[in-house]
Chain A
């Protein structure tokens, strides 16, 4: 039934897609994280900024990621102005379209996670910081941000795992990451179950490493009680 030679061969081929999966994940999580922090701070402001962030989060969380990818990959190239701009060398490549869509998408989810973390910072801590005469920037940098990060970390860990899984959608716009290669092998051999087993094992290993890493950081950031 199960053919070990086929399994090891398949794992080997699939691992060829690992660097692409990792780079898609890493760049979009980093860029999305920076954007998410900016969005979370803007959401706390009053007026138009907060309204913009709420609309942004509504749109990106309410529609499928694949639609967002298609909109950027197929939709943007329709505009001649964009095709003649400095952005075109990037946006003509499926890789950067996928990164852009993934980053914009995760920023919406992560901004809500960070917002939750910021809300959870006890007001007494902020007052204490003010009483010590810290400037608003140092107050944020030394007191608010570390506490918020600690609070938001478990949820953020989940979001990172979801992002790694989401990079699979990049295969639909021709990027041969792990799932793209898996699809190709299934098409060639019709052995969908074995290929699923191998690809699934790689994703599971990757995600449990991430979960473990987040857990270690959580432990490091927890005060000794």
Chain B
């Protein structure tokens, strides 16, 4: 039954799951940040391949974004979790180690979500690069700046400004997708909530608490992204 005693279950008292839930929420943030960072690197590479890589690189990048955006994320997580252990085991056997080598849930899950988010990130970055006019880079070169300084001081800030809203969306996607990593047994927020729900027989209370904690994570990080967007636009809207 729902009532006041059951609320103590989500608190920090002796019967409360508060500390475990907070720890698990931290794990969700950690796995999401890892996946987002790797996905960002993949996205940069993918955008480069699509924009100025050769024909083969461009084709590979298109195949990558098409497949990863058209296939359920859960399948990708299964591929990395089961397939990763398979690859590690055969590498181990090749190196003379007999027996099963498992890929842990954190690594497999973060890699899987990274590869999925990298596909979305590729499109975000590609669009942002396209939004900055060619003349900007040429003007920088005319001023005698080196290629690196043109990228660092002229192009990158403008690309980032155009890409930030899209990156914010990808981040939200990553946080929500990280819940699927619970199928690997990694004790992130959803897994911890499920365990608590099972052992207290209060599934409604704990899943509502879990949903609320996800809302806290997504809305707080959303505010952070909005602040970053404002910062990247400073002096820009006024000047137009």
Contacts and interface: CB of A to CB of B under 8 A. Distances in A.
B86 A74 contact: no
A192 B208 contact: no
A51 to B, nearest CB: 17
Interface string A55-74: 00011011111111011001
Give the size category of B's interface with A: 35 or more
Contacts of B215: 58-59, 62-63
Contacts, number: 120
B141 to A, nearest CB: 38
Nearest to A65: B176
Interface stretch (A39-47, A128-136, A197-205): A197-205
B203 A74 contact: yes
B207 interface: yes
Given A63-B176, A77-B203, A165-B73, 10 more contacts: A67-B190, A70-B194, A71-B208, A74-B204, A78-B201, A78-B204, A183-B78, A186-B82, A200-B71, A204-B71
Interface of B: 66-67, 70-76, 78-79, 82-83, 86, 172, 175-180, 182-183, 190, 193-194, 197, 201-204, 207-208, 210-211, 214-215, 218-219
21 contacts: A58-B219, A62-B218, A63-B214, A64-B175, A64-B190, A67-B179, A67-B193, A67-B210, A74-B204, A76-B204, A78-B201, A165-B72, A165-B73, A167-B72, A168-B72, A169-B72, A171-B74, A182-B75, A186-B82, A192-B82, A199-B75
